[in-house]
């Protein structure tokens, strides 16, 4: 969407900008002056100023109550569902304005941006005019600061505007897709398809062609029941693996009429896949349906019923303004995806992230066909669209959940490509976990009984949702009553406070109080980790504790039994439907039966977890008790169970019913000194659990790492010396002129380093952003980093994997130390089962390889990978691609190399640490 060419004018409003480098004020007449933090705060408290990203400016000024006319809110109103990097430069680009040269020019730019946005509202071809006037009336009533400024610019429409819920289109129901045909894909056909996708005249890449041919194997007809084709395909960066597997996938979908699922771990790759898939499929088929669909977990999408509640008084204050802006977005959104879709990631942080979450369907409270918006529901639309799609782009968690408890068998994935396959283990670990914690239990209580008294909204408990069933079917009604009564044993509002005061109420709270007491009694962390989570093995527990657990298990069984009875009654009603049960009612009961079986499974898993306490340990599982804390504040308490090898349930639930599965990644195997460790990769794929021998493929990256990258191991920054660590980061960022991605293993150290160096760097024109410090979501932080070659970014695990920043913006990755695994109870058990220190080493090499992978994203990229660790074990060096020079050196020497860039990968590299 192009911004209309409008004259760049100005608005006579005061403006304020604050960064780590300083603060600037612009008066209503347009004169700009540098100001102290105190002056800036006084001015903003006195008169609403134009600002950009209020929470960030507030952090910079140390004034959390800052408010004003935030340009981002205005942008979200004028251009809903449109992307904008939330920085002065990003806003300038989005509005086609000249980039401000420095901080002093920003207030002036903000005035021009406001003028441009206001002028857009007056322009004939404002694409988002529909609904704007009505939304503005509501926003005026909510005293949104922009409302008064905007009102003269948004004309009242001639005809009354339809409200959102009648404007959204209904989804169409279509018949079931027939099962896919059994087809054989020849290599020539696959390579022909690959040629079409890469385009006429594109350079033929041998590695990619071989990879595509091997990927084609998973689409062959299955030879034996429960024995899918499994391929483990390692593909170095730059192979072109996405098109490599999309070539056979698109060919198979076309010839067989079936659906291929591609599953990713990061949203970034989903975005990339969406764009690459457009080479193989049109946006729409002739009948209007979409051949490629992005499908996410339901907790990602806007729930229209929740939004309606929020618009009608369920939200108050700032959250109510957010609801209005979300409603604007919903009318223009491509798919209603609020988390990583086209809703700007920064919108939640401007208001309250929690408010965004409460507009989604977090806990499966959907009432399906009982909902007035069912036929327009984004979630239902996505689910139906994926049933008809040739390609479904999803994430690992969703594919597993869908395979484990998908509503519709016909929709379960049978041909699956797990890209970013090195994350499948972790995703399976969470999917097949059981956790009986206060938070989980209170959610179950709300689902059964409805929200507690005093809470707003139209959510209802089981009794209200199934009132018609209860009045028609006596046994069903009695089961609902019994479940409601038994659910009183679950924790209620304020449970964590009661536990702290040792006044638990009900069987489950009493158990959680015992968990808390045991966890604190056994805590060995001392003052070292004060304020962070504590955990202890579920072993050697006293008789009293075991008795408590048994009573709690009994209380849970008393909830589960009537839920099972209710499920049977619902089943009976579906088989022999009463006259009054129309199509909508039927869909609602099917929905209820589906969510019932999910709860019944959860309760059964909790009971099994409790039932084993006090008995002999089951070698298949790892059980522990925990108190979750954040800066000394407790937020959850409970018992946990994980599979020692989560690939076992994965193999049974995902692999066995499938026909073809491929796991692919640049780091699928551990890199040992003598080459890739395939036996461990096979064991970790889950295939041996169903007695399948996977095929293996390895496509080596075409990048010339040896001359484009260096690994620098800095040996004179002492471990534990924060001042030296911070100093080292600052000097590296200065030497490289920004473009540094700093990776930390502890949030505490990250914050301490950022706090010490951010101001100093900003004064030199080197902005430093940080996860866990800046009030900005991770995706937006990466967007900001990508957009500004002088910016640097500090972060933790999520950045080690999810950052894809080709080009000049990322030219140096710095790790503060060797990324040792966290010594948790779960890790200890897996380490013991996996070969002790060799297990740790393989995890660390995997992390190093992933982090290194951020550096070189394209053939032209170059850069340095720095580890600040005096004692970096040589056995970990095989994590880096063969041939990359590895040099142990002092910080001063490293700075010289950073300043010189990678062109100095030259004859002086004789000190390669591998030798
Ligand atoms: S059908 Fe369910 S998820 Fe969709 S809008 Fe209604 S309650 Fe929300």
**Each residue's pLDDT tens digit, 817-852:** 999 998 899 999 999 999 899 999 999 999 999 999
- Reduced to 3 states, what is the DSSP secondary structure of residue 282? coil
Q: Distance, CA 594 to ligand 1 centroid (Å)?
A: 15
Residues with CB under 6 A from ligand 1: 303-305, 361, 366-368, 371, 373-374, 377, 379-380
Q: In the prediction, which pLDDT does 903 show? A: 64
CB 636 within 8 A of CB 438: yes
Q: Where does the pLDDT of residue 904 fall: very low under 50, low under 70, confident under 90, or very high at 90 and above?
A: very low
CA distances from 734 to 255, 429, 739, 822, 851 (A): 56, 41, 10, 31, 21
For residue 73, which of 312, 300, 328 has the smallest C-alpha distance?
328
The residue contributing the CA closest to ligand 1 atom 7 is 366
Q: Of all atoms in ligand 1, which is nearest to the CA of residue 377?
A: 4
**Each residue's pLDDT tens digit, 366-387:** 777 778 898 899 998 988 888 8
For residue 167, which of 313, 325, 408, 330 has the smallest C-alpha distance?
330
Q: Of all atoms in ligand 1, which is nearest to the CA of residue 372?
A: 6
Beta strands across the sheet bearing 50-51: 32-35, 22-26, 15-19, 50-51, 69-70
690-699 average pLDDT score: 96
Position 6 pLDDT exceeds 60: no
Q: Which of 359, 371, 375, 595 is the best mutation target for the ligand 1 pocket, counting ligand atoms within 8 Å of the beta carbon and taking the most? A: 371
**Mean pLDDT, the chain, whole residue set:** 90
CA angle, residues 670, 674, 680, in degrees to nearest 5: 35
Give per-residue burial for 391-412: e unless 16+ CB within 10 Å, then b.
bbbbbbbbbbbbbbebbeeebb
Q: Distance, CA 380 to ligand 1 centroid (Å)?
A: 8
Q: In the prediction, which pLDDT does 908 show? A: 47
- Alpha-carbon distance of 224 to 234, in angstroms, equals 26
- Alpha-carbon distance of 606 to 556, in angstroms, equals 8
For residue 370, which of 569, 598, 584, 596 has the smallest C-alpha distance?
584
Q: Supply the Cα-derived Rg of the chain in whole angstroms.
A: 29
Report the percent of the chain where pLDDT is more than 70: 95
Q: Which of 170, 298, 303, 364 is the best mutation target for the ligand 1 pocket, counting ligand atoms within 8 Å of the beta carbon and taking the most? A: 303
Beta strands across the sheet bearing 415-418: 292-294, 391-395, 260-264, 415-418, 660-665, 229-235, 695-699
More confident residue, 133 or 597: 133
For the record, the structure tokens of 908 come out as 């002086």
Position 513 pLDDT exceeds 80: yes
551-575 average pLDDT score: 95
- Alpha-carbon distance of 286 to 91, in angstroms, equals 38
Q: Where does the pLDDT of residue 73 fall: very low under 50, low under 70, confident under 90, or very high at 90 and above?
A: very high
Q: Distance, CA 460 to ligand 1 centroid (Å)?
A: 13
Position 532 pLDDT exceeds 80: no
More confident residue, 788 or 247: 247
Q: Distance, CA 446 to ligand 1 centroid (Å)?
A: 17
Q: Where does the pLDDT of residue 464 fall: very low under 50, low under 70, confident under 90, or very high at 90 and above?
A: confident
- Reduced to 3 states, what is the DSSP secondary structure of residue 686? coil
What contacts 831, CB < 8 A, 6 or more positions away? 821, 839, 840
Position 910 pLDDT exceeds 50: no
Q: Which of 310, 374, 381 is the best mutation target for the ligand 1 pocket, counting ligand atoms within 8 Å of the beta carbon and taking the most? A: 374
Q: Where does the pLDDT of residue 1 fall: very low under 50, low under 70, confident under 90, or very high at 90 and above?
A: very low
- Alpha-carbon distance of 738 to 786, in angstroms, equals 11
Beta strands across the sheet bearing 768-770: 768-770, 792-795, 740-743, 812-815, 863-868, 709-714, 886-889
Position 454 pLDDT exceeds 70: no
Position 624 pLDDT exceeds 60: yes
Q: In the prediction, which pLDDT does 833 show? A: 93
The residue contributing the CA closest to ligand 1 atom 4 is 377
CB 180 within 8 A of CB 257: yes
Position 664 pLDDT exceeds 70: yes
313-317 average pLDDT score: 86
Q: Where does the pLDDT of residue 551 fall: very low under 50, low under 70, confident under 90, or very high at 90 and above?
A: very high
Q: Which DSSP state fits 321?
A: H
Q: Where does the pLDDT of residue 296 fall: very low under 50, low under 70, confident under 90, or very high at 90 and above?
A: confident
Q: Of all atoms in ligand 1, which is nearest to the CA of residue 366?
A: 2
- Reduced to 3 states, what is the DSSP secondary structure of residue 713? strand
Q: Where does the pLDDT of residue 529 fall: very low under 50, low under 70, confident under 90, or very high at 90 and above?
A: low
**Each residue's pLDDT tens digit, 76-108:** 999 999 989 999 999 999 999 999 998 999 999
Q: Of all atoms in ligand 1, which is nearest to the CA of residue 303?
A: 8
More confident residue, 720 or 527: 720
More confident residue, 697 or 163: 697
Q: Distance, CA 361 to ligand 1 centroid (Å)?
A: 7
Contacts 24+ apart (CB under 8 A), 66-71: 66/41, 67/145, 68/16, 68/44, 68/145, 69/13, 69/114, 69/145, 69/146, 69/149, 70/350, 71/110, 71/113, 71/114, 71/117
**Each residue's pLDDT tens digit, 165-184:** 888 999 877 777 888 999 99
How buried is residue 836: exposed, middle or buried, by Cβ count under 10 Å (0-12/13-18/19+)?
Answer: exposed
CB 811 within 8 A of CB 609: no
- Reduced to 3 states, what is the DSSP secondary structure of residue 105? helix
883-896 average pLDDT score: 95
Q: Of all atoms in ligand 1, which is nearest to the CA of residue 298?
A: 3
**Each residue's pLDDT tens digit, 208-265:** 999 999 999 999 999 999 999 999 999 998 899 999 999 999 999 999 999 999 999 8
Position 435 pLDDT exceeds 90: yes
Q: Of all atoms in ligand 1, which is nearest to the CA of residue 369?
A: 1
Q: In the prediction, which pLDDT does 453 show? A: 58
Q: Where does the pLDDT of residue 410 fall: very low under 50, low under 70, confident under 90, or very high at 90 and above?
A: low
Lowest model confidence (mean pLDDT) among 121-125, 496-500, 589-593, 850-854 = 589-593
The residue contributing the CA closest to ligand 1 atom 8 is 303
For residue 865, which of 810, 911, 828, 910 has the smallest C-alpha distance?
810
Position 563 pLDDT exceeds 80: yes
Q: Distance, CA 650 to ligand 1 centroid (Å)?
A: 29
- Alpha-carbon distance of 298 to 739, in angstroms, equals 36
Q: In the prediction, which pLDDT does 459 show? A: 60
Q: Distance, CA 366 to ligand 1 centroid (Å)?
A: 5
722-740 average pLDDT score: 96
514-542 average pLDDT score: 83
Lowest model confidence (mean pLDDT) among 3-17, 119-133, 689-703, 764-778 = 3-17
The residue contributing the CA closest to ligand 1 atom 2 is 366
Q: What is the DSSP string of 549-577?
A: HHHHHHHHHHHHHHHHHHHHHHHHHHHS-
For residue 78, which of 29, 40, 32, 130 has the smallest C-alpha distance?
130
What is the residue whose two structure tokens read 């981002």? 72
Contacts 24+ apart (CB under 8 A), 442-447: 442/490, 442/491, 442/492, 442/493, 442/495, 443/363, 444/487, 444/490, 444/559, 444/599, 444/602, 444/603, 445/487, 445/490, 445/491, 445/492, 446/363, 446/365, 447/363, 447/364, 447/365, 447/595, 447/599
Q: Of all atoms in ligand 1, which is nearest to the CA of residue 301?
A: 3
Position 484 pLDDT exceeds 90: yes
Q: Where does the pLDDT of residue 905 fall: very low under 50, low under 70, confident under 90, or very high at 90 and above?
A: very low
Q: In the prediction, which pLDDT does 805 show? A: 83
């Amino acid at each position: 969407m192009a911004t209309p060419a409008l004259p760049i004018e100005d608005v006579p409003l005061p403006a304020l900008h604050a960064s780590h480098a300083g603060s600037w004020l612009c008066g209503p007449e347009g004169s700009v002056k540098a100001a102290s933090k105190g002056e800036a705060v006084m001015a903003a408290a006195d008169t609403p100023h134009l600002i950009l990203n209020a929470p960030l400016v507030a952090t910079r000024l140390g004034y959390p109550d800052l408010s004003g006319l935030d340009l981002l809110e205005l942008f979200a109103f004028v251009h809903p569902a449109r992307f904008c990097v939330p920085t002065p430069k990003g806003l300038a680009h989005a509005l086609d304005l000249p980039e401000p040269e420095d901080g002093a020019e920003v207030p002036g730019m903000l005035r021009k941006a406001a003028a441009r946005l206001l002028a857009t509202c007056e322009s004939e071809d404002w694409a988002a005019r529909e609904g704007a006037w009505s939304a503005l009336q509501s926003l005026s009533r909510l005293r949104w600061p922009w409302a008064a400024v905007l009102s003269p610019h948004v004309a009242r429409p001639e005809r009354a505007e339809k409200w959102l819920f009648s404007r959204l289109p209904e989804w169409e129901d279509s018949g079931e897709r027939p099962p896919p045909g059994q087809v054989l894909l020849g290599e020539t056909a696959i390579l022909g398809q690959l040629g079409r996708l890469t385009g006429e005249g594109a350079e033929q890449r041998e590695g990619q062609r071989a990879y595509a041919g091997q990927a084609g194997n998973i689409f062959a007809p299955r030879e034996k029941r429960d024995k899918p084709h499994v391929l483990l395909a390692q593909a170095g960066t730059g192979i072109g693996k996405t098109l490599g597997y999309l070539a056979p996938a698109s060919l198979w979908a076309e010839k067989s009429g079936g659906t291929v699922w591609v599953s990713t771990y990061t949203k970034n790759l989903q975005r990339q896949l969406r764009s690459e898939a457009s080479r193989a499929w049109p946006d729409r088929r002739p009948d209007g349906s979409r051949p490629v669909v992005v499908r996410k977990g339901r907790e990602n999408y806007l729930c229209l019923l929740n939004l309606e509640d929020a618009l009608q008084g369920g939200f108050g204050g700032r959250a109510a303004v957010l609801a209005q802006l979300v409603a604007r977005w919903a009318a223009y959104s491509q798919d209603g995806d609020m988390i990583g879709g086209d809703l700007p990631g920064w919108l939640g942080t401007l208001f309250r992230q929690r408010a965004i979450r409460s507009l989604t369907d977090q806990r499966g409270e959907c009432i399906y066909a009982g909902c007035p918006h069912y036929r327009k529901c984004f979630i239902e639309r996505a689910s139906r669209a994926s049933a008809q799609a040739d390609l479904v782009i999803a994430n690992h968690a969703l594919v597993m959940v869908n395979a484990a408890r998908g509503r519709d068998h016909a929709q379960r994935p049978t041909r699956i490509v797990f890209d970013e396959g090195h994350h499948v283990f972790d995703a399976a670990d969470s999917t097949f976990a059981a956790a009986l914690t206060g938070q989980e239990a209170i959610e179950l209580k709300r689902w059964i009984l409805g929200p507690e008294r005093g809470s707003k909204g139209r959510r209802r408990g089981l009794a209200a949702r199934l009132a018609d069933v209860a009045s028609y079917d006596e046994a069903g009604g009695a089961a609902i009553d019994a479940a409601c009564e038994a659910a009183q044993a679950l924790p209620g509002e304020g449970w964590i406070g009661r536990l702290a005061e040792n006044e638990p109420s009900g069987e489950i709270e009493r158990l959680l109080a015992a968990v808390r007491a045991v966890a604190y009694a056994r805590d060995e962390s001392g003052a070292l980790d004060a304020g962070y989570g504590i955990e202890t093995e579920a072993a050697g527990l006293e008789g009293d504790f075991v008795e408590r657990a048994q009573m709690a298990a009994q209380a849970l069984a008393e909830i589960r039994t009537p839920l099972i009875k209710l499920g049977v009654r619902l089943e009976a009603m579906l088989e022999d439907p009463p006259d009054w049960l129309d199509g909508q009612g039927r869909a609602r009961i099917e929905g209820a039966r589906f969510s019932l079986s999910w709860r019944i499974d959860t309760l059964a898993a909790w009971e099994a977890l409790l039932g084993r306490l006090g008995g002999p340990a089951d070698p298949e599982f790892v059980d522990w008790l925990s108190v979750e804390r954040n800066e000394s504040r407790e937020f959850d308490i409970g018992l946990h169970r994980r599979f020692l090898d989560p690939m076992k349930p994965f193999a049974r639930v995902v692999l066995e019913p499938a026909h073809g599965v491929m796991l692919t990644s640049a780091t699928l195997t551990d890199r040992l000194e003598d080459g890739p460790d395939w036996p461990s990769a096979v064991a970790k794929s889950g295939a041996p659990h169903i007695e399948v021998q996977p095929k293996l493929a390895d496509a080596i990256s075409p990048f010339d790492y040896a001359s484009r990258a260096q690994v620098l191991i800095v040996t004179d920054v002492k471990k534990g010396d924060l001042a030296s660590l911070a100093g080292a980061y600052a000097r590296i960022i200065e030497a490289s002129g920004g473009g540094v991605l700093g990776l930390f293993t502890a949030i505490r150290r990250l914050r301490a380093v950022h706090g010490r160096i951010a101001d100093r760097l900003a004064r030199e024109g080197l902005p430093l952003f940080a996860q866990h410090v800046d009030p900005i979501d991770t995706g937006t932080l990466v967007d900001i980093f990508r957009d500004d070659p002088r910016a640097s970014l500090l972060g933790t695990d999520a950045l080690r994997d999810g950052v894809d920043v080709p080009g000049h913006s990322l030219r140096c990755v710095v790790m503060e130390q060797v990324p040792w695994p966290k010594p948790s109870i779960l890790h200890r058990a897996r380490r013991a089962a996996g070969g002790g220190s060799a297990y740790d080493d393989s995890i660390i090499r995997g992390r190093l390889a992933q982090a290194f992978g951020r550096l070189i994203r394209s053939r032209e990229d170059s850069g340095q990978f720095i580890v600040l660790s005096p004692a970096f074990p040589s056995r970990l060096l095989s994590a880096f691609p063969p041939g990359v020079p590895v040099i142990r050196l002092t910080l001063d020497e490293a700075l010289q190399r950073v300043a010189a860039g990678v062109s100095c990968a030259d004859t002086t590299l004789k000190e390669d640490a591998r030798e």
